[in-house]
Amino acid sequence: MAGSLSSFRRLSRLLVGVAGASALMMSLSAHAASWPSRPIQMVVPFPPGSSPDVLARAIAEPLSKDLGQPVVVENKPGAGGNIGTRYVSRAKPDGYTILLTINGPMVTAPALYKKTLGYDPLKDLAPISLIGTSPNVLVVPEALPVKNVKQFTALAKEKPGALNYGTVGPGSSSHLGMAMLEHQAGIQLQQIPYQGFPQVITAIVSGDVQAGFMVPGIAMPQVSAGKVRALAVTSLEPSDVLPNIPTMSAEGYPGFESISWDAMFAPAGTPDDIITRLNTSITKALERDDVRRQMATLYFTPAGGTPQALTKLIIDETARWGEVIDRLNLSLD
């Protein structure tokens, strides 16, 4: 009797769980049919004025027009983008909370924060669309006596550990890109972390550090002013936005790639038809001339694409950068 009662209770709990899940799916499906009926919150896990924030505001207006409801950008910065990303991963999957973030919280953070991240990019978030891509730029002070990557690495080999490079912190693209170059070139440099890219470029201009992998929106004005020299970009192919700067591959490091990208996500479980509608609206926004001009000011190339393609990008980059992070034995927990 006790066994039968125990089995009955387990079956009852199972049926309640199934019924609850079915009711939730029916509710979400019905909700999706009338979506959107109120404003949509677009979370940016970085401060106002950052490149993700600028991109978010550039596409929020055309999305609002296409969807018929306001798309309101809300900044939730902190922990390299992890705080805002975690917030969206735990939001209700009803299409009214979406995320625009960069590759860091989606690709390198899981390897850097194995204990304290608080979300799984592939399990807790639903990809919507890639927004845009941009290479980093390897820059050095104008006064440094090197004209290309070969000369820079030769100088580093002459003075092991004597050259410094600026980053926006351990585990950032500015750090991991240089770590990859150190490994491939067989050189040893000293990392100097700063609060942000504006502080890094100031240190390079002054000569306090001798190199840095920089976002082009910060680096190129100083290149144009003749205060720093751009040696290479980190895209595999010549960059559409920086066509006169050679790639790292062309400079003798085949396969060297370190791309910054921004993409849109929703909480896992968001109905497929909402994901499809958002993807379609983003594609339309990225075709607008005003949006493309705004992205060009940040040296971003519009991307777009399917949720499936974005998932593959995350998987591929997670594996590649995970190897670099493991090799460095780097953890930020």
Residue 47 domain flag = yes
Report the number of distinct structural domains present in the chain.
Answer: 2
Helix intervals (H) in 225-328: 272-286, 289-297, 307-328
279 and 266 in a single domain? The answer is yes
Cα distances from 109 to residues 22, 172, 173, 245, in angstroms, run 34, 9, 11, 30
Residue 29 maps to a domain: no
Question: Is residue 244 assigned to a domain?
Answer: no
Token digits for 226? 């003749």
pLDDT for the residue numbered 196 = 82
Please give the angle made by the CA atoms of 176, 113 and 217, to the nearest 5 degrees. 40
Last residue of a domain, one of 216, 233, 250: 233
pLDDT of residue 332: 87
* Pair of tokens at residue 67: 């969807």
Identify whether 249 is part of a domain.
Answer: no
Give the model confidence (pLDDT) of 57-113 as tens digits.
999 999 999 999 999 999 999 888 899 999 999 999 999 999 999 999 999 999 999
Comparing 7-21, 142-156, 157-171, 193-207, the range with the smallest average pLDDT is 7-21
**Residue 203 structural domain:** 137-233
Q: At a CB cut-off of 8 Å and minimum separation 6, what does 150 contact?
A: 251, 252
Other beta carbons within 10 Å of 162: 12
Residues 227 and 322: their CA atoms lie apart, in Å, by: 35
Edge to edge, what strands does the sheet with 301-302 contain?
A: 71-75, 40-44, 97-102, 259-267, 125-135, 301-302
| Residue 315: CATH number of its domain | 3.40.190.150
- What CA–CA distance (Å, rounded) separates 185 from 158? 13
Q: Could you tell me if 122 and 142 lie in one domain? A: no
* Structural domain contains residue 313: yes
Structure tokens, 120: 């799984």
Q: What is the pLDDT of residues 294-333, one digit of tens each?
A: 999 999 999 999 999 999 999 999 999 999 899 888 888 8
86 plus 49 within the same structural domain: yes
Q: Average pLDDT of the chain?
A: 90
Please report the pLDDT score of residue 50 as a whole number.
85
Token pair of 48, please? 């106002």
Question: Are residue 107 and residue 168 in the same domain, yes or no?
Answer: no
3-state secondary structure 303-333: CCCCHHHHHHHHHHHHHHHHHHHHHHCCCCC
Mean pLDDT of 243-256: 95
Same domain, 142 and 201: yes
125 plus 158 within the same structural domain: no
Domain membership flag for residue 190: yes
Strand partners, 164: 190
Return the CATH number at 207: 3.40.190.10
Residue among 128, 86, 122 nearest 107 (CA): 122
Contacts of 179 (CB under 8 A, 6+ apart): 324, 327, 328
Q: Which two tokens stand for residue 319?
A: 């594996």
Percentage of the chain exceeding pLDDT 90? 76
Same-domain check for residues 317 and 170 = no
Q: Assess whether 87 and 126 both reside in one domain.
A: yes
User: Are residue 196 and residue 51 in the same domain, yes or no?
Assistant: no
Which of 183, 218, 233 is the last residue in one of the domains?
233
Helices then strands (H, E): number in the chain?
A: 13, 11
The answer as to whether 55 is a domain residue is yes
CA atoms within 13 A on the CB side of 176: 28
pLDDT attached to residue 19:
54
Q: State the pLDDT at residue 9.
A: 46
**In this structure, are 66 and 118 located in the same domain?**
yes
Distance CA 64, CA 71 (A): 5
Please write the tens of the pLDDT for every residue from 136-161.
999 999 999 999 999 999 999 999 99
pLDDT band, residue 16 (cuts 50/70/90):
low
For 330-333, the CB contacts below 8 A with 24+ separation are 330/111, 330/112, 330/170, 330/171, 331/112, 331/113, 331/114, 332/112, 332/113, 332/170, 332/171, 333/112, 333/113, 333/114, 333/115, 333/116
> Is the domain of 119 the same as that of 174?
no
153 and 229 inside one domain: yes
- Using alpha carbons only, what angle is made at residue 191 by residues 185 and 193, rounded to the nearest 5 degrees? 145
Residue 188 has pLDDT above 80, yes or no: yes
Q: Is residue 20 part of a domain?
A: no
pLDDT of residue 7: 46
